[in-house]
Amino acid sequence: MKEQNYALVTGASRGLGRAYAFELAKRNYNLIMVSLPDDGLEEIANNIQQQYKVDVVYFEKDLTQKEDILNLAIDVNQNYNLNMLINNVGFGGGRHFLEVSSDYIDRMIQLNVRATALITHELLPNLIQRKKAFVLNVSSMAGMSPIGYKTVYPATKAFVYSFSRSLEKEFADTNVHFGVVSPGPMMTNDDVIKRMEYQGYIVRKAILSPEKVAFISIKKLLKGKNIITLTGFHKVQWALLHIVPVRFKMSILSKIAKNEVLSES
């Protein structure tokens, strides 16, 4: 087993996962990057290693497959010391429930729920062995309310939030610190930016870059924050989503999601 410590990031080849990998490398963390096969992961890993002079290991795994998750965990636990886990992998989107396939629904649940729970379960014994370790789970502002035209996605992210807070309590007396971040929409690609043009001022105001989300959430995680809010505006959003009655916030957010779906049709 390698003596130095590593941070493992899932969904590390693009978007927020890629931003987390670069942010951690800047902070001199050795990396274990995990993403789908044929997703350009090798090139990104080599780029980070050359640029920041940290050790970078990568695994091409499909985390919708239980066997891939368990094999990844075996390999990591046998060969690497972990002091950070970032459960970033997942996907979402807005569509009419009956217009999506059963595979689409199944894949979303497998990635957003099962992968997060199983990876944490399998790697936690490794993390506990470190003097100090961190787990960051990526939820979403969408997880704070039911939302029509997204339906499955907010339900999976509500799981991630609840799962994270429960682990925080259960392992409060250990050396592992648990945090959860709930970003709003992010400027991950041109398609997302185009879709956001159809939304109102409040939605557009909430948009951050993946790099900004990664920087703030890692900084706050290392300071010991459990519930990680990103900006003053996001703190207000987070508070409102907890205060406003479900029927009101569900109506408003569902209207926004419906506009997003109609803009794509």
203 pLDDT exceeds 60? no
Which secondary structure element, helix H or strand E, spans residue 164, and what is its range?
helix 152-170
Q: 32 has which bridge partners? A: 8, 57
Total domains in the chain come to 1
93 pLDDT exceeds 90? no
Q: Which residues are catalytic?
A: 153
Terminal CA-CA length for the chain? 52
In 3D space, the residue among 134, 160, 263 whose CA is nearest the CA of residue 203 turns out to be: 263
Q: 30-35 and 133-138: which strand pairing?
A: unpaired
CATH of the domain at 39: 3.40.50.720
233-259 pLDDT, tens digit each: 888 888 888 888 888 888 888 888 888
Rounded to 5 degrees, φ, ψ at 4 are -75, 160
Q: List all residues 6 or more positions away from 30 whose beta carbon is below 8 Å from its beta carbon.
A: 4, 5, 6, 7, 54, 55, 56, 57
C-alpha distances in angstroms, 153 versus 74, 176, 229, 261? 29, 28, 20, 14
83 pLDDT exceeds 60? yes
Range of the domain at 136: 5-264
Q: CA-CA distance, 70 to 118, in Å (whole number)?
A: 8
95-141 pLDDT, tens digit each: 889 999 999 999 999 999 999 999 999 999 999 999 999 999 999 99
> Exposed e or buried b for every residue in 148-163, given b needs 16+ CB within 10 A?
bbbbbbbbbbbbbbeb
In this prediction the pTM is 0.91
What average pLDDT score do residues 185-195 get?
A: 60
206 pLDDT exceeds 80? no
